[in-house]
Structure 1
Amino acid sequence: MSSALLAALRERGVGWVQTPSPGAQARVLAESVAMSLREAQAARGQARLALSGGRSPIPFLKALACHVLDWEQVKLTLVDERWVAADQPESNERLLRTHLQPVFDRLQWQGLYQGTSPAQDAALADNALARWAPLDVVVLGMGRDGHTASLFPGQPQLREWLEPSAGALCAATLAADGSPRLTLTGRALHSARRQLLAISGEQKLQVLIDALEREPLDCPIAAFLRAPLEIHYCPDQA
């Protein structure tokens, strides 16, 4: 890892955790999240967690489900969701239900997709999450175009949605291919006491390096590259 990158992250107050393999990354990230949830429960009696979907988080989700926690006092939601029912293969809710299966039924779950319409579902999630704020832990991912959550370059309202003062906690968006999504906004994501970004592989690393010099409207992850973010990186592609 280049000293220049680490120095740039330190200047921004961003933490860096590098692990040698995808399995090690999953274990270390799960331990970090579990520790933060325990700390939140000890301080406030409950913990509020937002997780990302996709294929990469699967080993992490399985590792997290192995931790002994007061899962009944964990409130869980998604960072973003495709606007599809939970029985569809591309559903992030389905992903969490499958890979957190040992503990999922004990959690206090707040899904994003409700099946009404993207805008109405976003409003319903916004109302529900308003009673949660702030989040205790959020785990972000990052695409090769620099998007995070379902905050993509070129979206008409992206500037507003990236701001900590965004009007809504959840918004209806469109992915790069035009498919409808639901996403937490900067108002929810920036509120989290513990903010984690998990990436792997040389391509994602280069995207991260480039993001340090780019504007958030062109590379949305750039809006989150500041304290209290902690980046978990593995050189091998998960």
Structure 2
Amino acid sequence: MSYQVQRFSTPQAASEALARLLAERLSAGGRAVLGGGNTPLAAYRAFGQADILWNRVQLIASDERCLPEGHLERNDVQIAKAIGTTVLPYTLHSFRAELGPERSAEASEGLVESLLPFDVVTLGLGEDAHTASLWPHVDLGSERLVLPVHGAPKPPPERVSLSPKALSQTQLVVYLVTGASKREALARFLRGEDVPPSRIRAPEVLVFADEAAYPDRV
């Protein structure tokens, strides 16, 4: 599988490029996975200003933290806040993560199946080369679409995540990677090491990276 890396001078420039790509791919509606965490929130804020057919857009987070419904640290809450309320109604599907990893994964399997294939999947990359809530100790070869996650190295330890099988059912995967702390993880991914994002396959794979994460030589 080949990757195309696009290098930007700043994290903001990379975020703006991701927002433009989302608006382009979803201009007439569609289904997309949005990666969680703080890194992509600037991109989602810009995406929320796009003039697209929002009433035909269906979104779901790549993973969720097992926290109470409406908790400020949940990905669905952060994504909704970033996109904002000025756009026309759109659908943001939520994992029932408040039920715990196993019950949430079971309850979400049918929902995710109904959304496949995705039009675009956006993901991030952790300093340890994880993506979504997929770490090496998770069963990355599972045939399930939604995986329960225990013992995540970063809090909270209990999560639920789309699986490599689910995330691979798309035409395009885009990774947003910024900051010097991600440099080694990105290098491992691009070298083809067996890190979690390497288990996700798609016809098109783009990496939007800033200069800190992807210097002249990685």
Q: Please say whether Structure 1 and Structure 2 have the same fold, judged by a TM-score greater than 0.5.
A: yes
Equivalent of residue 136 in structure 1, options 119, 133, 145: 119
1:231 aligns with 2:207: yes
Query: Per the alignment, in what secondary structure is the counterpart of residue 102 of structure 1?
Result: coil
Equivalent of residue 149 in structure 1, options 122, 125, 132: 132
Post-superposition offset of 1:115: 2.7
Which residue pairs with 2:157 in the alignment?
179
Work out the CA distance in 1 between the residues paired with 2:87 and 2:158: 26
Query: Per the alignment, in what secondary structure is the counterpart of residue 76 of structure 1?
Result: strand
Please say if residues 168 and 201 of structure 2, whose CA atoms lie closer than 8 Å, have aligned partners that are also in contact.
Answer: no
2:18 corresponds to which letter in structure 1?
A: L
Which residue pairs with 1:29 in the alignment?
18
Query: Per the alignment, in what secondary structure is the counterpart of residue 99 of structure 2?
Result: coil
Change (3 A) 1:138 1:176: same
Change (3 A) 1:193 1:86: same
TM superposition score normalised by structure 2 = 0.88
Task: Write the mapping of 1:70-109 to structure 2, written as runs, cut at 5 A.
Answer: 70-102=53-85, 106-109=89-92
Post-superposition offset of 1:116: 2.7
1:146 corresponds to which letter in structure 2?
A: A
Structure 2 runs not aligned, ≥5 long: 214-218
Post-superposition offset of 1:98: 1.1
TM superposition score normalised by structure 1 = 0.81
Work out the CA distance in 1 between the residues paired with 2:86 and 2:4: 29
1:171 corresponds to which letter in structure 2?
A: L
**Root mean square deviation of aligned Cα:** 2.1
Query: Per the alignment, in what secondary structure is the counterpart of residue 131 of structure 1?
Result: helix
2:62 corresponds to which letter in structure 1?
A: V
The list of structure 1 runs, each at least 4 consecutive aligned residues, that deviate by more than 3 angstroms after superposition, is 212-215, 224-227
Post-superposition offset of 1:99: 0.8
- The one-character-per-residue Cα deviations of 1:36-95 (angstroms, maximum 9, x if unpaired) are 112xx3xxxx40011011111121111000101111100110100101124323211110
- The one-character-per-residue Cα deviations of 1:175-208 (angstroms, maximum 9, x if unpaired) are 1257111100111111111210000123312211
Change (3 A) 1:198 1:77: same
Query: Per the alignment, in what secondary structure is the counterpart of residue 115 of structure 1?
Result: helix
Please say if residues 13 and 226 of structure 1, whose CA atoms lie closer than 8 Å, have aligned partners that are also in contact.
Answer: no
Please say if residues 139 and 197 of structure 1, whose CA atoms lie closer than 8 Å, have aligned partners that are also in contact.
Answer: yes
Please say if residues 86 and 93 of structure 1, whose CA atoms lie closer than 8 Å, have aligned partners that are also in contact.
Answer: no
Please say if residues 14 and 227 of structure 1, whose CA atoms lie closer than 8 Å, have aligned partners that are also in contact.
Answer: no
- Aligned pair count reads 211
Which residue pairs with 1:57 in the alignment?
40
1:32 corresponds to which letter in structure 2?
A: L
2:134 corresponds to which letter in structure 1?
A: L
2:171 corresponds to which letter in structure 1?
A: R
Change (3 A) 1:213 1:26: closer
Equivalent of residue 178 in structure 2, options 189, 200, 212: 200
Work out the CA distance in 2 between the residues paired with 1:220 and 1:72: 33
Work out the CA distance in 2 between the residues paired with 1:80 and 1:125: 11
Work out the CA distance in 2 between the residues paired with 1:133 and 1:225: 15
Please say if residues 50 and 77 of structure 1, whose CA atoms lie closer than 8 Å, have aligned partners that are also in contact.
Answer: yes
Please say if residues 71 and 103 of structure 1, whose CA atoms lie closer than 8 Å, have aligned partners that are also in contact.
Answer: no
Please say if residues 81 and 181 of structure 1, whose CA atoms lie closer than 8 Å, have aligned partners that are also in contact.
Answer: yes
Please say if residues 10 and 211 of structure 2, whose CA atoms lie closer than 8 Å, have aligned partners that are also in contact.
Answer: yes
1:20 corresponds to which letter in structure 2?
A: S
